């Protein structure tokens, strides 16, 4: 299949590189217990809605997505908490990191209603502060390169790099676990940066499994995000 890619943040992306299954695979997995197969679009779609409404979720595990992800390290560390999936990440022990750091277009303030959250607001001298962030990246990366040039091992030199550094990883996940990821990370309570990735993944999920997506939004999704619609 041709990869599907969506750009995210300033330098990141979500790229679907493999897909196994689909809505009809869910139907076949559910009906195998009765020895029956597909019965036509109307009845098959109705079955998916029944499964979702009553939380009979194991048939959805037979559809699998494989993504190539590029995101800042601090986003990846939140992402990897979703453990019912397979991950393989780029290693700074084996390769030299490129000069790729996440630079936000806007800064956020601490949310008044939630101690762990943030919100967009007025910050004095915001352009100067963003410039300061970029200058910090330039300095740290310059010193990282100097350490490597001096013969310091990659696995040690990388210790000075900040969490804004972009990493890449492969992520293989079944549709059931993917819906859990979207439920948590596309919600307004999730950090803004990972929410952008969850929204991109939701678009791909909707395109590949439209019946499942419709049922998910109707029966399972309880978050707040205008981007999550049927």
Question: Which residues participate in catalysis according to the annotation?
Answer: 185
DSSP state string for the chain: ---EEEEETTTEEEEEEEEE--HHHHHHHHHGGGT-----HHHHHHHHHHHHHTT--GGGGGSEEEEEEEEEHHHHHHHTT--SSEEEE--TTTSPPPS-B---SS-EEE-SS-TT-EEE---TTHHHHHHHHHHHHHHHHHHHHHHHHTT--HHHHGGGS-TTBEEEEEEEEEHHHHHHHHHHHSSTTS-HHHHHHHHHHHHHHHHH-HHHHHHHHHHT--S--TT---
Spatial distance between the Cα atoms of 11 and 88, rounded to a whole number of angstroms? 20
DSSP state string for 128-153: HHHHHHHHHHHHHHHHHHHHHHTT--
DSSP state string for 88-111: EE--TTTSPPPS-B---SS-EEE-
């Amino acid at each position: 299949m041709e990869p599907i890619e969506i750009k995210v943040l300033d330098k990141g992306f979500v790229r679907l590189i493999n897909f196994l299954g689909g809505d009809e695979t869910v139907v076949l997995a559910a009906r195998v217990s009765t020895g029956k197969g597909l019965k036509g679009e109307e009845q098959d779609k109705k079955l998916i809605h029944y499964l979702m409404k009553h939380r009979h979720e194991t048939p959805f595990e037979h559809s699998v997505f494989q993504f190539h992800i590029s995101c800042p390290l601090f986003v990846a560390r939140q992402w990897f908490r979703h453990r019912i999936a397979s991950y393989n990440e780029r290693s700074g022990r084996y390769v030299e990191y490129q000069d790729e750091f996440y630079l936000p277009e806007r800064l956020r303030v601490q949310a008044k209603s939630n101690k762990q959250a943030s919100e967009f607001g007025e910050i004095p001298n915001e352009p100067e502060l963003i410039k300061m962030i970029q200058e910090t990246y330039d300095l740290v990366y310059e010193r990282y390169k100097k350490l490597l040039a001096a013969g310091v091992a990659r696995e040690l030199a990388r210790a000075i790099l900040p969490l804004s550094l972009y990493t890449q990883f492969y992520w293989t996940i079944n549709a059931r676990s993917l819906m859990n990821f979207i439920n948590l990370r596309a919600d307004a309570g999730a950090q803004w940066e990972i929410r952008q990735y969850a929204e991109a993944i939701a678009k791909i999920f909707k395109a590949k499994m439209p019946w499942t997506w419709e049922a998910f939004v109707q029966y399972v999704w309880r978050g707040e995000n205008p981007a999550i619609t049927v």
